[in-house]
Structure 1
Amino acid sequence: MSKHRQDNATFLERLIFNNRPVVILLCALVTVFLSYHALQIRPSTSFEKMIPLSHPFIQNMIKHQNDLANLGNTVRISVEAKDGDIFNKEYMETLRQIHDEAFYINGVDRSGLKSLWSPSVRWTEVTEEGFDGGEVIPQTYDGSEESLNELRSNVLKSGQIGRLVANNFKSAIVDVPLQESYPDPDDQSKLVKLDYQKFSHELEEKIRAKYQAQNPNVEIHIVGFAKKVGDLIDGLMAVVAFFGIAFVITLVMLYWFTWCIRSTISVLVTTLIAVIWQLGLVRLVGFGIDPYSMLVPFLIFAIGISHGVQKINGIALQSGEADNALTAARRTFRQLFLPGMIAILADAIGFIALLIIDIGVIHELAIGASIGVAVIVFTNLILLPVAISYLGISKKAIERSKRDAVREHPFWRFLANVAHPTVAPIVVVVALAGGVGAFFYQKAHLQVGDLDQGAPELRPDSRYNLDNDFIVSNYSTSSDVLVVMVKTAPEGCSTHMAMAPIDELTWKMENTPGVQSAVSLVTVSKQVIKGSNEGSLKWETLARNQDVLNSSIARAEGMYNSDCSLAPVMVFLNDHKAETLKRAVKAVQEFAEENNRDGLEFILASGNAGIEAATNEVISASELTMLGLVYAWVAVMCLITFRSIPATICIVLPLVLTSVLGNALMAFLGIGMKVATLPVIALGVGIGVDYGIYIYSRLESFLRAGLPLQEAYYETLKSTGKAVLFTGLCLAIGVATWIFSAIKFQADMGLMLTFMFLVNMIGAMLLLPALARFLINTEKLAGKAGGSLLAH
């Protein structure tokens, strides 16, 4: 460049372009280093990372987890007899082998493993001489017809029908509680974290595949948090194929946009480098890949392509006037580095705002994605222009760019009419009407939490959800359990003062819509007292005699802790839909307000339904705060950049409209606001602002040159409209492939992000110039020599 051009260059520009070989060498070394670490990254998740640890419900659960055996992370294996019922020798032998096989799988809490073959599963009956009882499967069992008849009789007397045994006697359950950490089999002094994918595979190989092959009359169904997460991680592996599809489509579209193979390859390679850096840095900070953070590389790829397109478009425009590729690259760097940085900072805040959601997987997603957009500064804003300064752009692409710069564009001319004094009010009114309608629709219909039965993260026809449907249909105890913890003084849970309110709570919950049944130590106590009085229903009540109460709960194993200071009330729900959870939690809280006193306290919550209720409350509380932070930061960045409140309003209002429309779409499609979908809204705002920043920065430059608004917008579209349109399509394509994922929440996220990226683009191209007609004083702007940072 000439000395004059060098003098006009910023310090950063001179530092980069005067040391281009050093820049490329440093980037190459970093890429090799981080590629090694990226290859080491592995799927990783845990029970704690999926739940809001600081929520009072979860803190209560953790505080009392040792008192709540088998109410946390549990897998249920249902063994179905295809023909006949469970009372045959072959079936019972298969059930025993499955029980024993599960016992030796690493991560199983062996002390809590329960099935008909467990010595702790017993039957009780009232006789003329008092209570009689024993193990459901006695020591004398030998598989003979006589033993099977005795087994049938014991099961009927055990109280396990609908729990461990199906209501139709065609299946039985092995209840498998898990440990989040367990002693390393090779070194007992070390603890190993439960590997959900490995555990899920062991269930498939050692239980389902092995015993279904061994006994064709048996079909096995497995549900539980660990199995669900294992299936999710398996589904992630298929996502790699979607990345490949997105890459090929982007390659074709990039070449169609640039008509230059060098430019196309440069953008793709620098963007892939950004993805490699992101994965390598995530590995270095100690994170792995989980079902949520697996989506981050797609986002980084899409964002990197969008910024790369802007750079290539700028260099192509500059190449028509510049003497060489270096000059064109430097001019483009000077012109677009700052708006690119502002756009990337806006992207980053969309991710950083997710940190206020107190859930580990969302924290990791936010940190990983923030790292990803940070590396785009180096790869797409710095490395790409440096690479193009060497490679240049093909003459064909430059000639095409020159022709586009001087010829009339009917489509852009037509689109520029949105800034016309007559058309602009119509655009604004239509947008306002759509926004108001969508706002009231989403306010009436959008719910927080899951809206479907089973595991909403997976497709309805997935193996897991089919297994869940089987268990829900054949057993009386739902897999959705809300546990209320009743705290008393030591040895106080068996007193009438404590048991009477527990009885009232049990009755209240059983009469709450959405509740299937409720069980507590009072349930057992009443049965025992009735049995002690010749089984008369008149005696199925609580005694006031303490000795009778003490005796009556002796058989309530697992229904109170070791010092009788905590007794759980297990509330079995019909499902874990948002409305069901909200109703059940409200009923418990109302009861607690009326009955809590010194020495007696009803606290929430444990069980999978308690965890989901806590998660829903965190999401509900975080939504507005998170969006407020994102919008505030985007507005501040626009104010700093353009030094204009009207300009900031023009850029931000289309984003607000998109957020409202996005929520309305979620409500229309029956997608709840939950862990998987809440980040979409923040990401849609943070990433969507890119369009407005790029469009307004060009529009402002033409307005300062003295052009009227409509003509200035036409020139803006000629110079950057194609790049903005292409950016929107690239962002949408980058995430649209998720829609075909086997993991339903990924499909939901893909659909929502595709919608938001496209609508943000349309809003920036249609609503922004229409708002500018009312808010921007073009005459005043034309009289200024400067005013925004982008003008310098």
Structure 2
Amino acid sequence: MKNTTFKALEHVIDFILRRRVAVVVVVAAITVVMGYLAAHIEVKTVFSDLLPKNHPYVQVNNRFKQTFGGSNMVSIMLEVKKGDVFDMTVLRKVQEITKALQKVEGVDNYQIVSLASKKLKEVRASTSGIESRPLMWPDLPKDAAAIKTLREAVLNNPLVYGPYVSIDMKATLITADFTDGTVDYFKAYRQIKAIADAARGDGVLVRVVGEPILYGLVNYYLTETAQIFFITVASLVVLLLLITRTWHGTLLPLTTGVVSAIWALGAAKLMGFHLDPLVIVVAFLITAQAISNSVQLVSRFEDEVANGASSTKAAARASLLNLFKPGMLAVVADAGCVLVVALTPIPMLEKISYIGTVWILSIMVSALVLTPVLLSWCRLEKRYAHPINIQPILQRILRLCSSIVTSPARYGVAIAALVIFVLSGLYAFNLKVGDANPGSPILWPDSTYNTDATAINHKFQGSDRMFVVVGGDKEGALKQPDVLEGMEKFQKYMEAQPEVGGSISLADVLPAVKRVLREGNPRYQELGNSANENGELMYMFVSGADPGDMDRFADPQALNGAVTLFFRDHQGETIRTAIARVKDYIADHPMKDAHFMLAGGLVGVLAAVNEVILNGQIEAIAFALLVLVVCCTVTYRSMAAGVFFMIPVLLSNTLTFSYMAWKGIGMNINTLPVVALGIGLGVDYTFYIVDGIREELHHHGDVPRAIAKSIASAGKGVLITALTLITSVVLWSLSSLRLQADMGVLIAIWLFISASSALFLMPALVYLFRPKFIVGSKRHPIELAADAEPAVA
């Protein structure tokens, strides 16, 4: 006990307490500077940050998104209750929306497609030649006859009838893509919402979906998120004050959390990072860690005062001296678990990892230094802030924990934990990687956005798109009949998947042109018999067209083309099935003059994200567990310690994964950081309980007595922290963002499992197995401590 390291720690603590005024001044000065920086941090979502770096799918998407359509596409559907869309009221609204979209900030004007745009054309043949002209541009139909002509042109055009006018003709679609890197999601959301609101009425329903709308909604709810955050903090204050009955027991843990948050956000600004509103719940999780360490110190301080400490400085010194090792171990282990998230090559996760690591490491100062320094100024006599006393209830709970752990019931605790671990572990295999339900998991199923997505997918082929590039080996490769036939067969193969509503490619365009040349005879709706004939059909389609009209099907050199697939949802299983089918087709049907390249569009980049997360999840958990094992092994100089402390982590993980599988919460880019953080959070409380047992055994060799004393002391801090944080975090269920509500529940589950393991399971296992690194052995017995520690004047 009285080794060189311990004495060095004593000297450091004594120095800090002697210079406590200087310490507070320095911490305050740094906090002011960091606070200024934190006040200027941007809160926004950048979609490119969600995409894995250097993944081949993302590279294909970035290379071809300007022509074949990227992942920031917005779909607007106009639906009529009576009649069909071939009505002047509806057509005028389509034209107004199309023109208004051109003024939306960040929109790619060459990627706006609707009945009223120049992109949708019809090809007509006459004695004077081939004519390609827009269906309804620049003017609206002038009379009933013109509307009838428009209807017939749409019905005879497979590129329009189905993709942009529904089969029942009661809905029409308008799509617009945005330029990546320049789009401001909140501005785009507000501008498009204004356009959609203006178009509603006159029996016309307007529905809007797309990633810019989704992430714009996230920013729209930012004010609500901030309100819930402050309500949560306020409830935390009330609960801490209710339980501790003292101002120092309430304000010091909150001060710790605030200082850590300010330092972390200031550091994020220095690193050039922004704060994504979707991860604000993760911020609360780290703040919970800071509060937990501070509560432990305050609780131990009150015990030292109750045991007759000569002064509050001596009590603060003893508290930090005895809790420094478990507190430091908790901080280092948590920081290491968060840092391994950076191994997942997704920019947002890397930024969360770096910010989270700095945030947790700042707890070394905010909790392990600032809290005992401030405690040293408190008074010995305890003054209660209110008359309500629930301490007897807490003490009864802790006595119940001790009686269960030190009685034969401990066998039941261990057996129950084993059964729960096995069953939850088996059920956890049902956890899905990627989105687990149709629609967006960020919003509630009955949200306007998700109901709009359902309606659009019901009327059309699908609002989510993926393009597979057909790359030729030389210019003109796409004119080759075997390449076009391969594209056509590939489309039919992919459309056999139920979630794929349809597809479109150059192989759909050329047969339509050939049919027109044969006076509309459907017998001639087929591909050309030679490359020259297909080249002529391509020329006829683009003759008289604007530059770029052919781009969504093929480039001008006929070197690269796209097969665009329309999906009714982007669930993880749907995407994995589609990617697997594409790969199977490519392997079984090689083409002579071209090759397939995966994959672009929203579904393509989500496939890349899911693949990285599937590998990253296993890797992150494995490395996080390795970090935990190494930290525990080094701290306690025993491999058994590393294995022992994995028990609550594995239990909390299996139970949480089971809950996620049960509630349909997928493992995606938004939930992965919480999982990594949970590995550290799942064992923090146990560090304090186990170290309390070890400390007590330095005074006597009675293991049951040591367990009871540790539960009564360190367990009080665990119980206070768990009760306050679990109760307050449940308030996140009020959020309009389902993701935040789900993450709040996950945090509450993790806290509950962690606290329960620390109070019941781990002490029971200590009693049953008597690990040598805790209770000692004949060869390495626990040293007896001195009867009294020297006090600080």
Q: TM-score, normalised by structure 2?
A: 0.90
Aligned AA for 2:54? Answer: S
The corresponding residue for 1:186 is none
> Bigger shift: 492-501 or 615-624?
492-501
Deviations 1:633-654 (A, max 9, x none): 1111111222233333332212
1:574 and 1:142 map into 2 onto residues whose CA distance is 32
1:226 and 1:296 map into 2 onto residues whose CA distance is 23
The answer on whether the counterparts of 1:738 and 1:750 sit within 8 Å (CA) in structure 2 is: yes
| CA pair 512-152 structure 1, distance change in 2 beyond 3 A | closer
The corresponding residue for 1:185 is none
The corresponding residue for 1:345 is 332
Q: Secondary structure at the match of 1:76?
A: strand
Matched, 1:322 2:309: yes
The corresponding residue for 1:188 is none
Q: Secondary structure at the match of 1:672?
A: coil
| CA pair 660-9 structure 1, distance change in 2 beyond 3 A | closer
Q: Secondary structure at the match of 2:470?
A: strand
The answer on whether the counterparts of 1:480 and 1:575 sit within 8 Å (CA) in structure 2 is: yes
Matched, 1:203 2:187: no
The corresponding residue for 2:3 is none
Matched, 1:255 2:241: yes
Equivalent of 1:637 in 617, 631, 634: 631
The corresponding residue for 2:254 is 268
Deviations 1:608-628 (A, max 9, x none): 111121111111111111111
1:217 is displaced (CA, Å) by: 4.1
1:599 is displaced (CA, Å) by: 4.1
> Bigger shift: 528-537 or 584-593?
528-537
| CA pair 393-256 structure 1, distance change in 2 beyond 3 A | farther
Deviations 1:678-727 (A, max 9, x none): 22221111122111110100011223333332221111111111111122
Question: Where do 1:264-303 residues align within 5 Å?
Answer: 264-303=250-289
Matched, 1:771 2:773: no
| CA pair 682-92 structure 1, distance change in 2 beyond 3 A | same
| CA pair 420-21 structure 1, distance change in 2 beyond 3 A | closer
Q: Secondary structure at the match of 2:561?
A: strand
The corresponding residue for 1:523 is 508
| CA pair 71-280 structure 1, distance change in 2 beyond 3 A | closer
1:249 is displaced (CA, Å) by: 2.1
Deviations 1:449-498 (A, max 9, x none): 112112221111222112212211222x2112221111112221111232
> Bigger shift: 49-58 or 700-709?
700-709
2:627 and 2:452 map into 1 onto residues whose CA distance is 46
Matched, 1:464 2:458: no
The corresponding residue for 1:62 is 62
Aligned AA for 1:47? Answer: F
The answer on whether the counterparts of 1:263 and 1:393 sit within 8 Å (CA) in structure 2 is: no
Q: Secondary structure at the match of 1:680?
A: helix
2:60 and 2:689 map into 1 onto residues whose CA distance is 51
Aligned AA for 1:256? Answer: L
Q: TM-score, normalised by structure 1?
A: 0.90
| CA pair 474-282 structure 1, distance change in 2 beyond 3 A | same
1:757 is displaced (CA, Å) by: 1.5
| CA pair 754-21 structure 1, distance change in 2 beyond 3 A | same
The corresponding residue for 1:563 is 557
Aligned AA for 2:783? Answer: A
2:217 and 2:23 map into 1 onto residues whose CA distance is 43
Aligned AA for 1:178? Answer: F
Matched, 1:96 2:95: yes
The answer on whether the counterparts of 1:585 and 1:613 sit within 8 Å (CA) in structure 2 is: yes
Deviations 1:221-259 (A, max 9, x none): 221111111001222321212222222222122223322
Q: Secondary structure at the match of 1:49?
A: helix
| CA pair 75-138 structure 1, distance change in 2 beyond 3 A | closer
2:137 and 2:647 map into 1 onto residues whose CA distance is 73
Question: Where do 1:327-726 residues align within 5 Å?
Answer: 327-392=314-379, 394-396=381-383, 411-420=397-406, 422-443=408-429, 445-475=430-460, 477-488=461-472, 489-554=474-539, 555=541, 557=550, 558-596=552-590, 599-726=593-720
2:679 and 2:660 map into 1 onto residues whose CA distance is 16
Deviations 1:716-749 (A, max 9, x none): 1111111111222334345332222111122221
1:639 and 1:418 map into 2 onto residues whose CA distance is 29
1:216 is displaced (CA, Å) by: 4.6
Q: Secondary structure at the match of 2:122?
A: strand
Deviations 1:336-362 (A, max 9, x none): 223211111122123212112222222
| CA pair 100-139 structure 1, distance change in 2 beyond 3 A | closer
Q: Secondary structure at the match of 2:367?
A: helix
Deviations 1:559-606 (A, max 9, x none): 111211111111222321222211111111012123346742112101
1:589 and 1:322 map into 2 onto residues whose CA distance is 72
1:435 is displaced (CA, Å) by: 1.2
Q: Secondary structure at the match of 1:746?
A: helix
> Bigger shift: 540-549 or 713-722?
540-549
Deviations 1:354-393 (A, max 9, x none): 1122222222222222221122221122112111212336
1:312 is displaced (CA, Å) by: 0.5
Aligned AA for 1:204? Answer: K
The size of the alignment, in residue pairs, is: 763
**Identical aligned pairs, as a percentage?**
26
* Structure 1: runs of 5+ lacking an equivalent: 1-5, 182-192
The answer on whether the counterparts of 1:81 and 1:171 sit within 8 Å (CA) in structure 2 is: yes
1:762 is displaced (CA, Å) by: 0.8
| CA pair 786-532 structure 1, distance change in 2 beyond 3 A | farther
The answer on whether the counterparts of 2:65 and 2:601 sit within 8 Å (CA) in structure 1 is: no
| CA pair 410-79 structure 1, distance change in 2 beyond 3 A | closer
The answer on whether the counterparts of 1:260 and 1:393 sit within 8 Å (CA) in structure 2 is: no
